[in-house]
Amino acid sequence: MDRRLAAGGMGIVYSAREVALDRRVAIKVLRPELATAVARERFLREAQLLARLQHPNIVPVHRADERDGLPFYVMDLIEGQTLADRLAAGPLPTDKVLRLARDLVEALAAAHAAGIIHRDVKPENIFLIGHRALLGDFG
């Protein structure tokens, strides 16, 4: 793992290089202080549910595993800014807000259709890539 990208209540996200496929990825690791059997199960269940979601506005999960007693999962590394970062620079134009809202509603609708509820929708979990939004970190 190269560097820490973010931390939340349940896990820490790092950037890394996936050696076998020679690509950059993000790895979310369960916080060590939370590594109980129940937390491990919940964390891996989150990864399994997210891996089932195939939608252009949801950050894809590729793999889940455990090392040294800590579960982790691997997902695309998003090279963009979060909505929180963008909003810190000032308000968005109305047309961009409408495009981003459409992307997020479509992502949430796909998750709900699969029986998955995003439990942490906030600007820090919305990534902006060009003219589209990607929803990540379902909590």
CA neighbours closer than 13 Å in the CB half-sphere of residue 119: 9
**Residue 137 known to be catalytic:** no
Parallel, antiparallel or unpaired: strands 132-135 and 81-82: unpaired
The catalytic residue among 2, 68, 95, 120 is 120
Closest by CA to 75, choosing from 56, 65, 62, 57, is 62
Distance of alpha carbon 92 from alpha carbon 109, whole angstroms = 24
> Is 18:76 a contact under the CB 8 Å cutoff?
no
Known catalytic residues are: 120
